[in-house]
Amino acid sequence: MSMLRAMQRARMNAPMTVTQRSVCVLALSLLMTACASRLDQAPVVDRSGGGTLSTQAAQQPAVPLGPPPPGYYRVKPGDTLYRIALENGQNYRDISAWNNLTNPNQIEVDQLLRVVPPGANTAALTPGVATAPIGGGAVQSAPLNSAAPSTGAAAGVAAAPPIYGSGSNTASLTPPANAGAASDSTAGASGNVAFAWPVRGPLLGTFNDSTNKGVNIGGASGDTVKASADGRVVYAGNGLRGYGNLIIIKHDATYLTAYAHNRALMVKEGDAVTKGQKIAEMGNSDADRVMLHFEVRRQGKPVDPLKYLPPQ
């Protein structure tokens, strides 16, 4: 600053020479550079919170989310409420009610959803494992002699019977002593459920628990698809990507069957069905050929249907 004052006095007393002008320009340039460097070091202001964050802190990535607690599921990219319900042994209407979802079609990635009934004992569940609990706290389905679906857990929300639940009356897997002697009417026994083949045809694909959660059975378009056992329809539609026109039947508190890729559906959600009843017509919806994809699920987990069905 003393240099600036000296230049001001000199300018008042005598005209500036070329050298003096060069010195003034150099001094002003140095002063502006110093001011700019101080501005570059100013902190980043978080105006939403009223505090200040350093530039380095503002550029740090978000901390990844941990596993969900027992009884909850964290939404992943590509999930739908229908698939979450299927994989967790629940009815999508019940999950919607437990989480106060006004629109079941609007869920967000990383959203935490309750997938067991409120008040259920989750102490035995492993955090982050999306399976239905085995034991109490089940949401029971309506009796099979009633055609009306059950009522949702939250007031004002209608809910169909759970897709498959858990309960104290958990059925045990008891394969038939002589599978070769089994018939359609005495299919592989599973507790009180005896399953029969839903269609007759060649096996196009078998269960492997990774890429195929059931069996694929060939046939012609329009062939009759039958209910594998007595139960209640808890889903009928095409909301699960990869399944096409799908029917899901709940047989008891433990077992459920799924029938995918149909051309037409003959039953609707809430209908009680009997073993051998026509429920659909075979097709190729969401598939590259005509076939029936058939699943058996025990407590929400896919199991090999061939262990539950008699020989063809």
Model-level pTM?
Answer: 0.59
Alpha-carbon gap, residue 309 to 135, rounded angstroms: 26
Is the Cβ–Cβ distance between 273 and 265 less than 8 Å? no
Alpha-carbon gap, residue 23 to 70, rounded angstroms: 74
Q: Which CATH architecture has domain 179-307?
A: Distorted Sandwich (2.70)
Does 49 score more than 50 pLDDT?
no
Query: What DSSP designation does 210 have?
Result: S
Query: What DSSP designation does 118 have?
Result: T
- Type and span of the H or E element at 74: strand 72-74
Does 219 score more than 80 pLDDT?
yes
296: CB partners within 8 A, 6+ apart:
195, 214, 228, 255, 256, 257, 302, 303, 304, 305, 308
- Type and span of the H or E element at 33: helix 18-40
In the chain, count of helices (H) and strands (E)? 5, 16
69 to 55, 60, 84, 104, 265: CA distances (angstroms): 34, 26, 16, 22, 38
Give pLDDT, residue 231.
Answer: 94
Alpha-carbon gap, residue 105 to 237, rounded angstroms: 14
Alpha-carbon gap, residue 6 to 20, rounded angstroms: 11
Tokens of 200: 């007759």
pLDDT averaged over every residue in the chain: 72
Does 44 score more than 80 pLDDT?
no
243 vs 59, residue with greater confidence: 243
* Residue pLDDT, tens place only, 60-106: 566 678 889 988 999 999 899 988 888 887 778 889 999 999 888 88
Residue listed under structure tokens 């004992």: 121
Amino acid at 142: A
Is the Cβ–Cβ distance between 198 and 259 less than 8 Å? yes
Give pLDDT, residue 64.
Answer: 73
Under the banding of pLDDT at 50, 70 and 90, the label for residue 161 is: very low
The residue extents of the domains of the chain are: 1-26, 179-307
Does 151 score more than 60 pLDDT?
no
Query: Among 266, 262, 282, which Cα is nearest to 274's?
Result: 266
- Type and span of the H or E element at 88: helix 81-88
